[in-house]
Structure 1
Amino acid sequence: MLASLDLYVALPFGSGGVTLDVLPPPELDRYAVHMMLSNSRFLKVVQQLHEAPERMDHIRKTLAAELDEYEKSYLKTLKIYRESLRKHPRSSSWGFPGADNGCDPLKNPTLPGQRLQVFSLLLACSMSPDKEAAALCEKAIDIAFKQRKHLLESDVPLGLKSTFLSRASLFNRRILATCLVKSKGIDVDEDFWKAQLIRRYGASAYPGLWSSIRIVDAEYPDVKSHLKIARELNDHEFLKLLHESGYQQKN
């Protein structure tokens, strides 16, 4: 299950420069959410977990392993980009190879694909709240804050910081907040959630085109009720939620 989410979309992040603030604005968090909800295999996994909750143990074990693999890949990729920067200090274009660049995501998964893999497993894992799910969610939050702190304090160009924070790191407030609330069974107001419109698989590969695509129901009838995802949160709202949940950042 969820072998690699790189297969379904040619990530449009491999070209073009980046002109963003260092901290990704809340509206950017939606893209990872949209990418997952356009993937039929992810929706099928959610449906299967609803029908056979005993499969959740496999999801947790997979997530624990994938978090470790993702973090190794993130650090390795960042090191490569830093070395490239030393050789080409005037470079201003930062992107990642996607499935359309000749990568075989099953044998050699790309970093953005591994990131989506972790996000998908986090959302799936949080469908069954318990201590193990909450611990995995908090581990992902620990990694996300460590990544953010390191990038903010590093001396790399703003464009590289923005690219890694918004497109490679786990710092996605919507997904992390969703997993935290669900895995810990935290009571929140209904306006905390945002209704998700699920697009049929293969509708579009590019986020910029989504607004003009006709919305249709997915083939998985139980998915919508089990995939409530948090609305867009700013940093203040996200940090407040972490504090109220009892989360304590590990060094």
Structure 2
Amino acid sequence: MRIAVLTGAGISAESGLATFRAGDGLWERHRVEDVATPEAFARDPALVHRFYNARRAKAADARPNAAHRALAALASRHDLVLITQNVDDLHERAGSRSVIHIHGSLTRALCAACAHRWDAPAVMSAGDPCPACAARAIRPDIVWFGEMPHHMEIVWEALAAADLFVAIGTSGNVYPAAGFAQHAGRCGAECIEMNIDDSANARDFDRRILGPASQTVPDWVASLGA
């Protein structure tokens, strides 16, 4: 069976990583518009780097939970494509390989001048030179609001080929990911949502499994058997 899985902030929240859709509109005590847009970086790169340095440190201290580990085990038994909106590396540290990070990764850096990418150090600053071109234009390799997600051609192909599409811990508010279930469903996949509550696009799923991901995902993986 070919399975495509999308994970969102809900799966990492159980490992202690904050989501950006807090009720007060703040993300780690910052407005999203001040730390997660190209305009914010152009306006105050030092603030943006401080914000992502702190997030990088928190992600490094976090540990994969039972849901991350269950998905890694699932890949050993089924043809699995794992897509994530998360910028942490908890899937990889749980044992998953070839994770598709459509919103980039805290562990990677990007030069805005020459597009060179490399492994990010623990701390980045606006004055650091790019290791390839020496321009002082480095930034986190994160997809900010207003930018195009990564690897979308691969993702659409995986969704079209899937027998089963599962969205775990996603809000259903952010496109293009919010349209993945519709696309997979039109191509013949069964679509399952796993979340604490119904998402904004709950109607696009054939069935829903509600509850904490650390409980629902291992139970669902076990139900698939070998």
Q: TM-score, normalised by structure 2?
A: 0.29
Point out which structure has higher relative CO (alpha carbons under 8 A, 6+ apart). Answer: 1
Question: Which has a greater percent of strand?
Answer: 2
Q: TM-score, normalised by structure 1?
A: 0.27
